[in-house]
Amino acid sequence: MSGGGEYLTVIDIISPELKKNLDIATKTLSETLGEQHPITIKVSSMLDSIEAKVRITDNGGIVEYSKIGNPSYDDFFITAARLDGMAIIGKSMITHSIKQLKYFAMSKASDEALQLNIKLLVGDTPPEEWSDEQAISVLRMANEKRKVTSDEKKYFLTTAGLIGIAVLSLGEAIDEAKELIPKGKQLMKNTKSLKYAQIPKATKGIKNSIENLNSVVNNAPKMLEEMKVLLDALKSLS
């Protein structure tokens, strides 16, 4: 966060393609399963659930950025904030999707026909303590035993599509962040050309933006790999 008092929301940050596909998925599920079906609600509420976890303002702002009234600097601040926000949303999508996978996996624990196979996979570990890998293994086994319902498959397929778009967006964000860092350093050198009153806010904004961009460059690649693993799991279940 850069301390400038301006904020971006989830809708400001996500790609138009992701929003469009989420809207299409929600509409399709509403028509086939019904608006109040648990699967429809899980998909349609994804962004709201993510926002509730990461927002830093009451009106849904999730990243803060500076604004000083100079187009070159303001464009840099808002772009850096958007990239930082994409990383935040990406991490939240992983957490949200894994939570849902574990929910579906745990629902199989009560199926007597699966209990022996589940024990072979996880031993005596109770369902609420299953690791991500154990939950995915249980679901894959259940799928092989034809114990994954068609409604559940629709959820996995829909979520895979959304995660796939997020993977592409995050990959692009990493590349863009790498390119933006030198621009930020150049803007820092040029702060003397600004109005005197703009310099303190610009300096602080640049420092915080570069810090966030470095975080994207250093941490998002690992997150990207986690998303790809999740994507493969969802595809195998759909």
pLDDT in tens, 26-58: 999 999 999 999 999 999 999 999 999 999 998
Q: Which residue range forms the structural domain that includes residue 102?
A: 6-237
Q: How much is the pLDDT for 199?
A: 96
Is residue 120 one of the residues assigned to a domain?
yes
Q: How much is the pLDDT for 2?
A: 37
**Long-range contact pairs involving 111-117 (C-beta distance under 8 Å, separation at least 24):** 111/142, 111/147, 113/145, 113/147, 114/138, 114/141, 114/142, 114/145, 114/147, 117/141, 117/145
DSSP state of 192: G
Q: How much is the pLDDT for 59?
A: 84
Contact partners, residue 87, CB within 8 Å, separation at least 6: 170, 173, 215, 216, 219, 220, 223
Is residue 82 one of the residues assigned to a domain?
yes
- pLDDT tens-digit profile of 63-91? 999 999 999 999 999 999 999 999 999 99
CA distances from 115 to 126, 136, 145, 146, 152 (A): 12, 15, 12, 14, 19
Of 78, 88, 87, nearest in space to 184 by CA: 78
For residue 222, give the 3-state DSSP assignment. Answer: helix
Residue 146 confidence (pLDDT) above 70: yes
Q: How much is the average pLDDT of 121-135?
A: 96
Backbone torsion region of residue 5, taken as left when φ is above 0, otherwise alpha when ψ lies between -120 and 50, otherwise beta: left
| Cβ neighbours, 10 Å, residue 227 | 22
Residue 4 confidence (pLDDT) above 90: no
Q: How much is the pLDDT for 229?
A: 94
CA separation for the pair 21, 16 (Å, rounded)? 9
Exposure b/e, 136-160, CB count within 10 A at least 16 = b = bbbbbbbbeeebbeeebebbbebbb
Range with the lowest mean pLDDT among 46-55, 164-173, 225-234?
46-55
For residue 8, give the 3-state DSSP assignment. Answer: strand
Total domains in the chain come to 1
Give 176's pLDDT tier (boundaries 50, 70, 90): very high
Give 1's pLDDT tier (boundaries 50, 70, 90): very low
Residue 5 confidence (pLDDT) above 80: no
CA separation for the pair 2, 201 (Å, rounded)? 9
Is residue 1 one of the residues assigned to a domain?
no
For residue 65, give the 3-state DSSP assignment. Answer: strand
Is residue 109 one of the residues assigned to a domain?
yes
